[in-house]
Amino acid sequence: MEVWGQLINTTLVFSTALIFAALGGMFSERSGVVNIGLEGLMVSGAFAAAVATHSASEAGFGSGSPWIGLIAAVVYGVLFSLLHAVATITFKSDQTVVGVVINILALGVAIYFTRSLYDGSVQTPQLYDVFSKVSIPLLTDIPILGEGFFHAYPTTYIVAILVAVSFFILFKTPFGLRLRAVGEHPSSADTVGINVSRYRYIGVMLSGALAGLGGATITLTTTSSFAYNTISGQGFIALAALIFGKWNPLGLAGAAVFFGFAQAIRNFAQLFDWSKNIPTEVFYMLPYVLTLIVLAAAVGRSSAPSALGQPYDPARR
Amino acid sequence: MGQSGAVVQLKGITKRFPGLVANDSIDLELKKGEIHALLGENGAGKSTLMNILFGLYQPDEGEIWINGERTVIDGASKAIELGIGMVHQHFKLVQPFTVAENIVLGDEPKKGLKIDYKLANQRVREISGRYGLKVDPQVRIQNITVGMQQRVEILKTLYRGAEIVIFDEPTAVLTVQEIEELIQIIRNLAAEGKSIIIITHKLKEVMALANTVTVIRRGKIVRTLPTSGTNERQLAELMVGRDVSFEVEKSQAKPGEVVLDIRNLRMKGEQGKPALDGTTLQVRAGEIFGIAGVDGNGQSELIYAITGMRKVQEGNVFLNGSDLTNKSPRDISTAGVGHIPEDRHKHGLVLDFSVSENMILNTYFQPEYGRYGFVDFKAMDKLAADLVGEYDVRLSGIHTDARALSGGNQQKAIIGRELHKDPDLIIAVQPTRGLDIGAIEFVHNRLVEARNGGKAILLVSFELDELYALSDRIAVMYEGKLVGEVDADNRNDEELGLLMSGNTDTAGIPGQRGS
Amino acid sequence: MDTTKKIFNKSSLLVPLVSIVLGLIIGAIAMLAGGYNPILAYTSLFERLFGSPYHMGEAIRAITPLIFTGIAVAFAFRTGLFNIGVEGQFVMGMTGATLIGVLLDLPWYIHGPLAIVTGALFGGLWAGIVGFLKATRGVNEVISSIMLNWTALYLANYIVAAFLLEPGQQKSRPIHASALMHIDWLIELMDRARMHWGTLIALLGVAVFYLLLWRTKQGYELRAVGHNPDAALYAGMNVNRTIVKSMMISGVFAGLGGVFEVLGVFGNQTIMAASPGYGFDGIAVALLGGNTPVGVLLASILFGGLSYGSSGMSFGAGVPSEIVRIVIGSVIFFVAAHGIVKYMLKPFMQKRSADKRKEAA
């Protein structure tokens, strides 16, 4: 029974990272900018968090270190996302190609600096000051579910709040209305005086910040370090969650939990008898194959923002 | 007319783009309460001028004076501030948003951090009532008619306090009834003291609506004159620069055998409504059969069905007796169907291919263009050179990308390609959209030539002038089927308008023919 | 020939060249930031590359898979598709060839070709899945490719572990000599560098890439669909079938890259912790090469040379070899965002045309 609680918990850990990244992707894509570079932004966030937290620990910040790591991840993620923004919004380059390039570049930069900062090591030093789980009093005592849901890392609580906040911002505020207008029909927004570029920049920078947080979550709650394989496809799975969740914060959160579960089950497979006959590689493949099946079965991109992927050229109104 | 004060003054406005001068030293004056038409053919520079007034472009030279003060309009926000509003030809509306959301976008009433939807809806109802533009604020744009969408566009400008309203080709997408309503709306607005500019190329509208008309040709003002002192013929002459006859040289048709025989086509549409609901028609050799109707009544789907782009669930398409129903586009093309599509950029040409490569777009697989899987470039180039000469396509070389050609030349290339196939049936959809008068004449002449040579031609057009000039027979399409035929030799817009809006009770109107 | 002019002209050279220079500069900055000497590093790279027949031979060995993956990506791009799944198709190519090479024992004139064809087919079919999903379900090929990349890695590992394992090791049993593709006399000549027939096939591949796309009717169709699927549909072409065909051909090229890694270089297949990375480098090669045959060849020489020579940089100047990832990444960033390069060049271009006008006056 305890296992179920742990399974829920591990699911939440993986889902949290996915939700952060998918929310970031949502703001970017809702404004009309495709962001394939989520993977690279997560890598950047994971890397920045590892380096910053380590340095903070060394400097004696103790349990405050992981929080510094989170902030570093946000800052570095935003900076990296600016590369994407400038290339695609100001210079109107192909958004998909630039996204892939960001992924390659982000990983290269992260590994290079890991090596040079830590004496040629391929991995950042193991972090001592990471997040520990926080219990919500009373609620933790609920059998099974309590352990699962209410004894989680701070990042999980943060992301839950963020989902609600994102929903509010996107659908209830002027900012959200304008952002969505920019992504559906940019010239409508332009002709009422809304600055299309500015909203798109904000959308992309938000994706940098949030995806960075997603990457940081992985580092600070699971691996406690950064290496070349810390982020292995989660950025793309987050994109799939975004599509499956129809670019809606609640939808993508649900989808992310589903994918997070697929990732979590890897660690628990061995515990079930029936799993002994299935080769371990199958469990490793599971999240990816599942994503593929879900994408194929989903109703397609008909709910995507209409102007997604098209650079806005005012001259061609 | 209202007071004689000039609300807008454009002095010496000049705007250059690479390769052309769109506006050349233009002077224009708009008085308060005036309805001023800006008349010119496609590409004359009307839209550019208005985009400058609305702040979307900046003039290279010249001055803009609003209400007696010199200003620089550096963006749409500034224009809106100055009380200028624009009702665009292609509506700037966000489809999934509601009417109210579209109207208040950018200037949303707030309650704390949230949008105050109640207040927004209320305000929309207020101005809607005040100006007699009935709309439901809570309905989504994707669910309302085109006419209503235009009212939302108008309300957008009024919500922002526009005193000067620019209408860009406002009647392009409206039914005859909706045009009547729009004319009334515009007159009401002028009566309220708004100053109106209408950009158009339609002479009838100018005469019906405007007090003053300014004719623009190739970027220059030709003349400004009151409509009371002129007529359509004179305006046409001013617009084009020479005496223009709308008639095409056309002898009586000598129709032969039935070439295209369409029986009872049914095709599924969106949201449960059928796109084709029992369409039946016949086109004979040596005849031009025109289809009139407001866009969206199944014309596109009919063309898709004939050309094999989409499947029909019921009914048949026969070409010269053979059943082509639901066959592949390639089979249909080789069976003898030529197609001049509505959207030449999307469907007619591969813009990134050379002109030469485009000429074999639907014939490349044939042996004369290459064997054993390879392309015979010499044969391809020869065909291109021949066609370019025969159809007077102006370009710098057959190896230039199709993208570099002007709209008129692109259309000529397409027509050349399709006619070269020597098809028995030619389908032409909006064949002169966006073309200047010279190109329009060329296209019309070629179509009549083909018809005289015994081809069957199915013509779909939203320009009534074109339909009447070319067609030997005209039928009206409404909600997926043909609802009546009209006399192609005696134009009766009232009868046509009624049929186009589905009113088949036309008994008692002279000249009406059964279907 | 006008087609040659179209696919490889002067103005299309400027952006890649400037991007390379900028990339090298950024690499130098990163090195300085890490406390290394860029000049020493770049010279060490050269020394490594041209220092001896062995190194030159090995450099060729490193460049060969990039030609294959570069062509694979470029081919797909030309037909309107972004094949990021080259990585997975490469791995499947390896696996196919290894399966035939290890499990069967046939005369050399059958065994080798059979292994090659099987690997190529594996790659082609793996890519075909992506094409099929895109054509029938509209699934974005970027995401599906990436998912299949990971799946391929684990699938390959599983196959090696379950059917081909060398007992007690993390790799397969050796591939029979009858399937191997070494060029023995060349290996002798290049001081035991691992030379193999794949290099020749790769060069043939470049020619096939050109001929197929620009000289055949199939290529005409593929390019039409790539430029404008709507017009292609109207012209009677079967767009969905073309998408699948295009992905499959692309996958065949990628698979061949993997085939020759096992048949020509390693002689076996290990259980991999991560995929080899030639696929992503192939993307870089295609981008820099402007998706043209000659461009891909030149770019693969550049990137292959950089990658191989990077070990020289760490040897000679202590720079982590990952610096090359930054250089390559920056180069393709500038190529992808060529607007930035053109913007930077504007002052130079304007001055030149102003000078020309002065001359003419």
Residues of A in contact with B56 (CB under 8 A): 191, 314, 317
Q: Is the pLDDT of residue B316 over 90?
A: yes
Residue with the larger pLDDT of the pair B294 and C117: C117
**Is the Cβ of C2 closer than 8 Å to some Cβ of chain B?**
yes
Interface touch C223/B348, C-beta < 8 Å: no
pLDDT confidence bin for B249, thresholds 50/70/90: low
Q: How far off is chain B from A187, nearest CA to CA, in Å?
A: 6
Within a domain: C36: no
Nearest CA in chain A to B47: A317
Task: Please tell me the distance from the alpha carbon of residue A253 to that of residue A162, in angstroms, as a whole number.
Answer: 11
Candidates A112, A228, A259, A299: best to mutate against C (most CBs of C within 10 A) is: A112
Within a domain: C90: yes
Within a domain: C160: yes
Within a domain: C29: no
Residues of B in contact with A173 (CB under 8 A): 113-115
Q: What is the interface pTM, i.e. ipTM, of the complex?
A: 0.85
Task: Please tell me the distance from the alpha carbon of residue A267 to that of residue A8, in angstroms, as a whole number.
Answer: 12
pLDDT confidence bin for B511, thresholds 50/70/90: very low
Q: What is the mean pLDDT of residues B114-120?
A: 92
Q: What is the pLDDT along chain A (317 residues), one digit of tens a residue?
A: 567 777 888 888 889 999 999 999 999 999 999 999 999 999 999 999 999 999 988 888 888 888 999 999 999 999 999 999 999 999 988 898 899 899 989 999 999 899 888 887 888 888 877 788 877 776 766 666 666 677 778 889 899 999 999 999 999 999 999 999 999 999 899 988 899 999 999 999 999 999 999 999 999 988 888 988 888 889 999 998 998 888 999 999 999 999 998 888 877 776 666 666 778 888 888 888 988 888 888 755 557 787 887 778 765 54
Rounded-to-10 torsion of CA C197, C272, C269, A262 = -110
Determine how β-strand B164-168 pairs with β-strand B84-87.
Answer: parallel
Report pLDDT digits (tens) over B375-390. 999 999 999 999 999 8
Write down the residue that tokens 């090791």 correspond to: C169
Q: How many domains does chain C have?
A: 1
| Mean per-residue pLDDT of chain C | 88
Q: Which of C147, C274, C320 sits opposite A116 (nearest CB)?
A: C320
Q: How many angstroms separate the most distant Cα atoms in chain A?
A: 64
Residues of C in contact with B349 (CB under 8 A): 228, 231
How confident is the model at residue A62, as a pLDDT? 81
Q: Is the pLDDT of residue B150 over 80?
A: yes
Q: Is the pLDDT of residue B97 over 70?
A: yes
- Give residues 60 to 79 of B whose Cβ lies within 8 Å of A: 75-77
Q: Which of C216, C230, C236 sits opposite B373 (nearest CB)?
A: C216
Within a domain: C222: yes
Interface touch C233/B329, C-beta < 8 Å: yes
**Is the Cβ of B353 closer than 8 Å to some Cβ of chain C?**
yes
Q: Is the pLDDT of residue C2 over 90?
A: no
- Bridge partners, B217 (sequence order): B220
Within a domain: C145: yes
Domain holding C246, by residue range, is: 63-291
Residues of A in contact with B96 (CB under 8 A): 184
For chain A, list the domains and their CATH numbers.
2-316 (1.10.3470)
Task: Please tell me the distance from the alpha carbon of residue C75 to that of residue C91, in angstroms, as a whole number.
Answer: 19
Nearest CA in chain B to A170: B114
**Is the Cβ of A303 closer than 8 Å to some Cβ of chain C?**
no
Interface touch C339/A236, C-beta < 8 Å: no
How confident is the model at residue C351, as a pLDDT? 63
Residues of B in contact with A188 (CB under 8 A): 92-94, 102, 105
Size of interface A-C (CB pairs under 8 A): 143
> How many beta carbons lie within 10 A of that of residue C15, not counting itself?
19
Q: Where are the beta strands (DSSP E) in B341-486?
A: 425-429, 456-460, 473-478, 481-486
How confident is the model at residue B34, as a pLDDT? 92
| Mean per-residue pLDDT of chain B | 87
**Is the Cβ of A97 closer than 8 Å to some Cβ of chain C?**
yes
- Identify the CA nearest to A188 among candidates A86, A307, A93: A307
C neighbour chains, 3+ CB pairs within 8 Å: A, B
Three-state SS at A57: helix
Q: Is the pLDDT of residue C360 over 60?
A: no
Helix pair angle (C53-78, C198-215), 10° resolution: 30
Report percent pLDDT > 70 for chain C. 93
Q: Which of B93, B105, B113 sits opposite A177 (nearest CB)?
A: B105
Within a domain: C272: yes
Within a domain: C252: yes
How confident is the model at residue A281, as a pLDDT? 84
Interface touch C329/A291, C-beta < 8 Å: no
Three-state SS at B268: strand
